[in-house]
Structure 1
Amino acid sequence: MSDAIHHFIEQYGLIAVFLGCVAEGESAAILGGFFAHQHIFILWQTVVVAALGAFAGDTCFFILGRSFADHRYVVGLRKRPGFRRAYRLLNTHPNIFVLSNRYVYGMRLVGGIAAGLSNIAAPRFIVLNAISSAVWAVLFSTIGYVFGLGAEHFIGQALLRHERILVGLAIGLAVAVFAWLIARHFARKERAREN
């Protein structure tokens, strides 16, 4: 069973990192770095895939906001907690907002939509988004790689490579669930504040 999981991660893991980074993605980038430490991926490939996924995701959200502002999906996203604050920050500090939006968990989606609805020029958004995506990918992939070093030191060489991969997957899943719970908590607070 663990051999099949190992083979599956080797074959499709970077695709999963890309797709995970298109969405909120911190967990995907961290897991990619962890698997790079386990010699399943190459670290620079993980960084490139994570950066491309983050860039593609934010660019898609920007295009949704810019080109499909009246679509019911976009209208629904505009009602999400934090959208008004994101839009206000974007119009007062557009460069800082685009560069830092991806670091605030749960704001990436509404931030991309808000950027598309704002008056920021598309080429300016693309350049700022590319810079932010690259820095973000290096940071979170490196965190995963360093986490792999720490995990290896903590659990030692006693566990087989496959078992370390399963431990990494379990920790990644736990981090994703924890981050989702935190985002949900802050969304509730934001909704209460807006009412």
Structure 2
Amino acid sequence: MTDTIHLLVAKYGLLAIFVGCLAEGESVVILGGFFAHQRVFVPWQAFAVAFSGAFIGDAALFFLGRRFSSHAFVERMRQKPGFSHAHRLVNAYPNSFVFFNRYAYGMRTVAAITAGLSGISIPRFLVLNALSALVWVTLFGSLGYVGGMGAEKLLGEALAEHQRLIVALVAAVAITATAWYAAHHFFRKGKKNG
């Protein structure tokens, strides 16, 4: 069973990283960095795929907000609790907003659409988005890569491939659950105060 899972990760893992990075994706990038260290993926390929997914995901949402502002999906995003706050921030600090929006867990979709609805020029958005994606992938991918080094030191270099997979999946679930809980707690607290 673990051999089959390992084969699937090796075969479709880069595609999964790309798809995961289209949306939030921090845990996916960390997992990609971990597997890059474990030699399941070639490191530069894992980082390039994660960067592409992150850049394309935010760019697509930006263009959705820019070109299809009356679309039902965009209208739903406008109803989200963080939209009005994001709208104020993008108008007050457009460069910082575009660069840092992907670091606010749970806000990336709303933030990219909000940027599309703002007056930020397309070239400026694309440059800031590319720089932000590069820093984001480097930061979270490196966390995963260093985590792979730590797992190897902790569990030994002879760590079997299926054991690496189990360690990585447990870490990914823990990171995702922690991030979800933190974001959920933050938004619930914001609703009570707002």
Instruction: Assess same fold via TM > 0.5.
Output: yes
Q: Is the 8 A contact 2:36 2:145 kept in 1?
A: yes
Partner of 1:193: 193
Q: TM-score, normalised by structure 1?
A: 0.95
Partner of 1:154: 154
* Cα distance between partner residues in 2 of 1:170 and 1:3: 17
Q: Secondary structure at the match of 1:188?
A: helix
Partner of 2:62: 62
* Cα distance between partner residues in 2 of 1:97 and 1:156: 43
Q: CA offset at residue 158 of structure 1?
A: 5.5
Q: Does 1:34 align with 2:34?
A: yes
Q: Deviations over 1:51-72 (max 9, x none)?
A: 1000011011111111121122
Q: Deviations over 1:74-102 (max 9, x none)?
A: 11111112111111111111111111111
* Cα distance between partner residues in 2 of 1:51 and 1:103: 14
Q: Does 1:175 align with 2:165?
A: no
Q: Does 1:95 align with 2:95?
A: yes
Q: Secondary structure at the match of 2:106?
A: coil
Partner of 1:104: 104
Partner of 2:3: 3
* Cα distance between partner residues in 2 of 1:159 and 1:37: 13
Q: Mind listing any 5+ residue stretches in structure 1 that lack a counterpart?
A: none
* Cα distance between partner residues in 1 of 2:126 and 2:192: 34
How do residues 59-138 of structure 1 correspond to structure 2 at under 5 angstroms?
59-138=59-138
Q: CA offset at residue 145 of structure 1?
A: 0.2
Q: Is the 8 A contact 2:152 2:159 kept in 1?
A: no
* Cα distance between partner residues in 1 of 2:77 and 2:155: 43
Which stretch of the first structure deviates more once superposed, 12-21 or 58-67? 58-67
Q: Deviations over 1:157-185 (max 9, x none)?
A: 46412111111112101211221111111
Q: Is the 8 A contact 2:101 2:107 kept in 1?
A: yes
Q: Mind listing any 5+ residue stretches in structure 2 that lack a counterpart?
A: none
Aligned length: 194
Letter in 2 for 1:177: A
Letter in 2 for 1:145: Y
Letter in 2 for 1:151: A
Q: TM-score, normalised by structure 2?
A: 0.96
**Percent identity over paired residues:** 53
* Cα distance between partner residues in 1 of 2:165 and 2:27: 15
Q: Kindly report the root-mean-square deviation, in angstroms, between the aligned alpha carbons of the 2 structures.
A: 1.1
